[in-house]
Amino acid sequence: MGMLSGTVAVVTGSGRGIGKAIAIGLANAGARVVVNDIGVQLDGDPGAGDPAAETVAEIRSAGGEAIAVNETVSTMTGGRRIVQSAIDAYGRLDTVVCNAAIMRPASLFDLTEKDWDLVLETNLKGNFSVMQPAAIHMRAQKSGTILVLTSSGGLEGSPNQPNYAASKEGILGLMRSAALALAPDVTCNAISPSALTRMIERARPGHNPGDPSAVAPVATFLASAAARNITGQVVGVSGDRVSIFPQPRVARTIYREGGWTPEGLANAWNATLGSDTLVRYERFVTNRSS
């Protein structure tokens, strides 16, 4: 008996990469899996083949149960159909993993409205379109798990992908809101993976992160009964390392009776509040200056 025996999971964007690894991992743990992928290229343009069917074939060849659903996450209708497909096929829904994403890199100065809209539509709205119908079902069921995928680009910023970074940071606000709204019966967490996928190969050539398969055990654990007390967290996964990111909190505060003037802040700021340097600041500023 696996940790997820008797459960049903939906994994979006699970035809390749991390999503595929998660879908196979959930199936290996006993879940029946709805594999969702429309087979697009990295930028969202139409692609060749049927990667969802290929993932389903792998799951079934290993003795698992899975079906493929080729619906887009970028519309509310598509999201509802994905969720309903799980309920129609298996009678329930216990886990949703929102992994589908695209990227259209461009600097803040060159990014087009079209490329902004397409990335936010898939990456951020594509989480909401699936999460909302799943949350309604799970709240009535009084159990369930929602997992979303963020990234270092969202957590730390990305000067050449403001659309992607905004979508991945926005996912965290959505995750925290869902965690509060669904507690205590349904959990909602985020995974920030560092793994060698076609997306990371394009964004950071030469970078050598962990294998996508390393993410699957973390997703499986978070979907299991053993993680019922874990919600609203951002979990980092890179190879053999698993981390927890801190929640946003006030770092330092200054107070002045009667309020502050601009001059008063100028005199006090550096010695009291200071600043917390962006994680990637030195790397990008140094490269820009050299």
| Tokens found for residue 183 | 């507690």
Peptide bond into 184 cis (omega under 30): yes
CA gap 145, 36 in Å, rounded: 17
Asked if residue 113 lies in contact with residue 155, where contact means CB atoms within 8 angstroms, the answer is no
Q: What is the pLDDT of residue 197?
A: 47
Residue 244's nearest CA partner among 258, 232, 260, 259 is 232
Q: What is the pLDDT of residue 287?
A: 66
Interval 146-160: pLDDT, tens: 999 999 988 999 899
d(CA 208, CA 139): 40
pLDDT of 201 reads 47
| Distance separating alpha carbons of residues 185 and 148, to the nearest angstrom | 18
Helix pair angle (125-141, 76-90), 10° resolution = 40
Complete domains list, the chain, with CATH: 8-244 (3.40.50.720), 250-290 (no CATH)
Alpha-carbon distance of 28 to 170, in angstroms, equals 31
- pLDDT of the residue at 214: 94
Taking 70 as the threshold, does the pLDDT of residue 3 lie above it? yes
Inter-residue contact 215 to 185 (CB < 8 Å): no
Residue 205 has what pLDDT?
A: 53
Percentage above 90 pLDDT, the chain: 83
Looking at every residue in the chain, the average pLDDT score rounds to 93
281 labelled catalytic: no
Better-scored residue on pLDDT, 221 or 203: 221
At which residue do the structure tokens 């000067």 appear? Answer: 159
How far is residue 227 from each of residues 25, 72, 220, measured CA to CA in Å? 16, 29, 10
281 confidence band (pLDDT: 50, 70, 90): confident
The model carries a pTM of 0.91
Question: Which residues have C-beta within 8 Å of that of residue 280, sequence separation ≥ 6?
Answer: 156, 157, 158
The CA-to-CA distance between both ends of the chain, in Å, stands at 57
Catalytic residue among 90, 164, 255, 281: 164
CA distance 140 to 118: 33
Pair 20, 14: CB distance under 8 Å: yes
For 157, the token pair is: 């910023």
What tens digit of pLDDT does each residue of 246-269 get? 999 999 999 999 999 999 999 999
| 165: nearest Cα among 239, 216, 111, 245 | 111
The pLDDT of 40-61, averaged and rounded, is: 91
Q: Which pLDDT score, from 0 to 100, does residue 43 have?
A: 81
CA distance 252 to 129: 37
pLDDT exceeds cutoff 70 at 198: no
Q: What is the DSSP letter of 214?
A: G
